C-alpha cells in the first residue's frame, strides 16, 4: 500500500512510500481510507519529525476487516475514525472505540473533517460548563475548532463574540451564530463570562483582562506559536477571582463523541467548514498552506477509495 511519511523538508513535508498493510490488534478494525483531514498541529510535528512519526489522526473510509474480538462495526461498514497515528495511508488500523458509523447521507469528505476539531469543540464546551446566556469571547475563531465551537455554543444559547484576522474569515462565523465578529482584541466589548483562547502570545493577557469578576479563561491553543507571558500583578489588579484553565482534548475513547458529531451533522445542526478538498497527491502543498494559515476551516484530502 501507499503511505505518506515525513521528509523533513518544510516546503515538501511529506512524500509517498510503499509500506506493508497494518496488522490490527484484536480490538482494532482495518479501515481502507477514503479521506483524511490534516490538522495544523500536525504540520508543526513535520518540521522536525521524530523517526517513528506516521502522521494521520482524522480519517473516514470503509471497514475491510472487523476487529477480531467482535467489538465495533462489521466489514463493509462506512466509518469515521480517530487513530493515534498512521491515517495518511491506503489502510489504517483503528481501535473500535475510536470509530463511529456513518449514515448513508453523510459523505466521507465531510466526515473526515470531524474528529480532532469536532471532538475538541465538544469537550471544550463541556469543560466550560453550561453556556446558555453566557457572554463568550472566542479567539482564533476561523480555524476548524473555532467554527465548531461557534456553532455549538450559539446553538446552546451563548452570546458569542469571535476574533478573526480578516472580515472574510468572519463572514461564515456570523452565519453559524456568532453575535459579533471583531478583528482585534481591543474591539471586543467585554466583560465576558468566558474566554476561550487559542492564539497565545500577547492575546492571552489581553483577553484575560476582558473577563468579568469571577469569569474563566480556558487556554486551548497557541496558533501564533508565540509563548504566553503573564504579569501576575496585572492579573491580580484585573477581574477579581478570575480563573485560568488549560485544556487539551486528548484521551480515549473517542467513539461516543464521534457518534455525537455524526448525528449533529446528519440532523443539519452542525456544519463543518471545509476550505480545501484535494487529491492526496497534493498533500504536501496543502500542508504548507495549512501551516501558513492560508486555509479557512478544514482541509480534506481524498485517496483513490474516496473518488
Sequence-ordered alpha helix ranges (H) in 8-114: 40-45, 108-112
Write down the pLDDT at residue 169.
81
Instruction: Based on the fold, state whether residues 39 and 109 are members of the same structural domain.
Output: yes
Q: Is residue 92 part of a domain?
A: yes
Instruction: Based on the fold, state whether residues 30 and 96 are members of the same structural domain.
Output: yes
Sequence-ordered alpha helix ranges (H) in 199-274: 202-208, 232-237, 255-266
Q: Is residue 225 part of a domain?
A: yes
Find the domain containing 237 and state its range.
117-246
Helices 144-155 + 115-128 axis angle, to 10: 40
pLDDT at 306 over 80: no
Instruction: Based on the fold, state whether residues 235 and 207 are members of the same structural domain.
Output: yes
Q: Is residue 64 part of a domain?
A: yes
What would the pLDDT profile of 96-154 be if each residue is shown by its tens digit?
999 999 999 999 999 999 999 999 999 999 999 999 999 999 999 988 899 999 999 99
Chosen domain end from 227, 246, 265:
246
Instruction: Based on the fold, state whether residues 101 and 179 are members of the same structural domain.
Output: no
The sheet that has 192-197: what strands, in order across it? 180-182, 159-163, 135-138, 192-197, 211-219, 243-246
Write down the pLDDT at residue 63.
98
pLDDT at 211 over 90: yes
Instruction: Based on the fold, state whether residues 224 and 185 are members of the same structural domain.
Output: yes
* Average pLDDT along the chain: 94
Q: Would strands 298-302 and 28-36 be described as parallel, antiparallel, or unpaired?
A: antiparallel
Instruction: Based on the fold, state whether residues 25 and 39 are members of the same structural domain.
Output: yes
Instruction: Based on the fold, state whether residues 188 and 297 are members of the same structural domain.
Output: no
Tell me the pLDDT band of 215, cut-offs 50, 70 and 90. Answer: very high
Instruction: Based on the fold, state whether residues 58 and 163 are members of the same structural domain.
Output: no
| Reported pTM | 0.94
pLDDT at 253 over 90: yes
The count of domains in the chain is 2
Q: Is residue 261 part of a domain?
A: no
Instruction: Based on the fold, state whether residues 68 and 121 are members of the same structural domain.
Output: no
Instruction: Based on the fold, state whether residues 105 and 125 are members of the same structural domain.
Output: no
What would the pLDDT profile of 43-93 be if each residue is shown by its tens digit?
999 999 998 899 999 999 999 999 999 999 999 999 999 999 999 999 999
Amino acid at each position: 500500500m501507499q503511505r505518506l511519511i515525513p521528509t523533513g523538508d518544510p516546503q515538501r513535508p511529506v512524500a509517498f512510500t510503499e509500506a506493508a498493510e497494518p496488522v490490527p490488534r484484536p480490538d482494532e478494525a482495518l479501515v481502507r481510507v477514503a479521506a483524511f483531514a490534516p490538522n495544523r498541529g500536525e504540520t508543526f510535528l513535520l518540521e522536525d519529525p521524530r523517526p517513528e512519526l506516521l502522521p494521520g489522526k482524522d480519517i473516514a473510509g470503509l471497514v475491510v476487516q472487523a476487529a477480531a474480538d467482535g467489538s465495533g462495526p462489521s466489514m463493509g461498514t462506512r466509518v469515521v475514525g480517530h487513530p493515534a497515528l498512521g491515517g495518511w495511508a491506503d489502510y489504517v488500523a483503528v481501535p473500535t472505540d475510536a470509530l463511529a458509523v456513518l449514515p448513508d447521507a453523510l459523505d466521507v469528505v465531510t466526515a473526515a473533517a470531524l474528529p480532532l476539531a469536532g471532538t475538541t469543540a465538544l469537550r471544550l464546551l463541556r469543560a466550560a460548563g453550561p453556556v446558555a446566556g453566557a457572554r463568550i469571547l472566542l479567539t482564533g475563531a476561523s480555524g476548524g475548532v473555532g467554527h465548531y465551537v461557534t456553532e455549538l455554543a450559539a446553538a446552546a444559547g451563548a452570546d458569542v463574540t469571535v476574533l478573526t484576522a480578516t472580515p472574510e474569515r468572519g463572514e461564515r462565523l456570523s452565519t453559524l451564530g456568532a453575535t459579533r465578529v471583531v478583528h482585534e482584541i481591543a474591539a471586543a466589548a467585554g466583560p465576558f463570562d468566558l474566554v476561550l483562547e487559542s492564539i497565545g502570545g500577547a492575546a492571552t493577557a489581553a483577553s484575560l483582562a476582558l473577563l468579568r469578576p469571577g469569569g474563566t479563561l480556558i487556554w486551548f491553543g497557541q496558533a501564533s506559536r508565540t509563548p504566553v507571558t503573564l504579569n501576575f500583578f496585572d492579573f491580580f489588579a484585573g477581574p477579581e477571582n478570575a480563573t485560568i484553565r488549560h485544556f487539551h482534548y486528548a484521551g480515549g475513547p473517542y467513539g461516543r463523541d464521534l457518534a455525537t458529531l455524526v448525528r449533529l451533522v446528519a440532523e443539519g445542526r452542525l456544519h463543518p467548514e471545509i476550505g480545501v478538498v484535494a487529491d492526496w497527491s497534493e498533500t504536501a502543498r496543502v500542508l504548507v498552506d495549512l501551516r501558513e494559515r492560508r486555509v479557512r476551516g478544514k482541509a480534506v484530502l481524498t485517496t483513490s477509495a474516496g473518488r
